[in-house]
């Protein structure tokens, strides 16, 4: 059955791979990004691309209205958009902290809030939040990012309890290091250091995160909610 799927930050990196996975499975997929452009990888799938800054509630509302008009109410929501502003604590400004939390955590709140009323009414829905291994392990220079990603876990688990009686599942996927623009910014030295701590000895491909997200949105995963699923090559050993 073809569902209405919305992936935030679906124009590149992990979000693009997630959008591709759903589109290839025959779902009606919409993506958001700040440019609103359709990436070439999605062009042949008829994916709807919507311009939306997830820091802006009005833009979120308008983006959902556009998606609902084209594809119907969102049945699968993947809150994937996120940013880093890595810097050690003593040099981290309040803006470095709040802007990362606003995008990664409050951004997820904005889209989940907008999607949830219709899901609750329909008594079905799948919500997947993209966190990070560092949300649970911590990481020097990433206090802002790790706090935002850990926040997603408490957020998801509270919603899993609130929405469970309406058969809506809320889960978190927690990637380790994935080859995207976000990690391309790391130095070769830091990259080697990271890989040396990963039992599988490599970064993940975005598609390897996408397949887990798609599973959580499938009928086979109907009894999984409030879970944090690591896709990290063993880096966090289950955390
Ligand atoms: P990229 O930097 O490649 O892409 C980030 C995506 O988020 C883009 O689509 C971007 O859209 C979107 N985005 C950022 N800020 C906003 C905003 N204010 N409004 C709307 N969209 C926004 O990141 P990745 O693909 O690597 O990461 C995707 C998710 O996975 C993030 O949440 C990240 O924290 C998480 N993650 C990534 C890991 C990695 O190793 N790469 C590891 C663990 C977690 P635009 O093009 O408009 O900027």
**Cα torsion 163, 169, 174, 175: sign:** negative
pLDDT of res. 24: 96
Ligand 1 first shell, C-beta below 6 A: 8-9, 11-15, 33-35, 52-55, 80-83, 103, 130, 132, 175, 177-178, 180-183
Kindly give the residue spans of alpha helices, DSSP state H, lying in the chain.
Answer: 13-24, 40-43, 57-71, 94-101, 107-122, 134-137, 143-163, 181-184, 188-196, 206-216
Which ligand 1 atom minimizes the distance to the CA of 10? 9
* Structure letter (DSSP) for residue 6: E
ipTM above 0.95, yes or no: yes
pLDDT of res. 37: 93
**3-state SS, residue 169:** strand
Q: If you measure from the C-alpha of residue 181 to the centroid of ligand 1, how many angstroms do you get, rounded to a whole number? A: 8
Catalytic residue among 64, 145, 163, 177: 145
pLDDT of res. 112: 98
The class (CATH top level) of 4-231 is alpha beta
State the residue for tokens 């009894």: 223
Q: If you measure from the C-alpha of residue 11 to the centroid of ligand 1, how many angstroms do you get, rounded to a whole number? A: 9
- The answer to whether 12 is annotated as binding is yes
pTM for this model (two decimals)? 0.98
Taking CA atoms only, the protein residue closest to ligand 1 atom 34 is 82
Active site residue 145: yes
Residues of the chain with confidence (pLDDT) below 70: none
- The answer to whether 144 is annotated as binding is no
pLDDT of res. 224: 98
- C-alpha closest to that of 39 among 54, 27, 49, 25: 49
pLDDT digits over 59-116, tens only? 999 999 999 999 999 999 999 999 999 999 999 999 999 999 999 999 999 999 999 9
pLDDT of res. 185: 85
Measured CA to CA, the distance from residue 179 to residue 193 in angstroms comes to 15
**3-state SS, residue 228:** strand
């Amino acid at each position: 059955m073809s569902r209405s799927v919305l992936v935030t930050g679906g124009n590149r990196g992990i979000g693009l791979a997630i959008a591709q996975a759903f589109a290839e499975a025959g779902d009606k997929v919409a993506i958001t990004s700040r440019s609103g452009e359709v990436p070439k990888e999605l062009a042949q799938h008829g994916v709807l691309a919507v311009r939306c800054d997830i820091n802006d509630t009005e833009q979120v509302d308008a983006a959902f209205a556009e998606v609902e008009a084209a594809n119907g109410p969102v049945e699968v929501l993947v809150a994937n958009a996120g940013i880093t502003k890595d810097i050690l604590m003593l040099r981290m400004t309040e803006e470095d902290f709040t802007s990362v939390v606003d995008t990664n955590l409050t951004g997820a709140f904005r889209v989940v809030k907008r999607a949830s009323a219709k899901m609750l009414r329909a008594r079905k829905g799948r919500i997947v939040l993209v966190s990070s291994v560092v949300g649970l392990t911590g990481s020097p220079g990433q206090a802002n990012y790790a706090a935002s990603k850990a926040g997603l876990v408490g957020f998801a688990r509270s919603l899993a309890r609130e929405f469970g009686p309406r058969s809506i599942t809320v889960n978190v996927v927690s990637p380790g290091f994935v080859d995207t623009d976000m990690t391309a910014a790391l130095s070769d030295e830091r990259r080697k250091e990271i890989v040396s701590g990963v039992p599988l000895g490599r970064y993940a491909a975005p598609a390897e995160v996408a397949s887990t997200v798609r599973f959580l949105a499938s009928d086979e995963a109907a009894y999984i909610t409030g879970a944090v699923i690591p896709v990290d090559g063993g880096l966090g050993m289950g955390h």
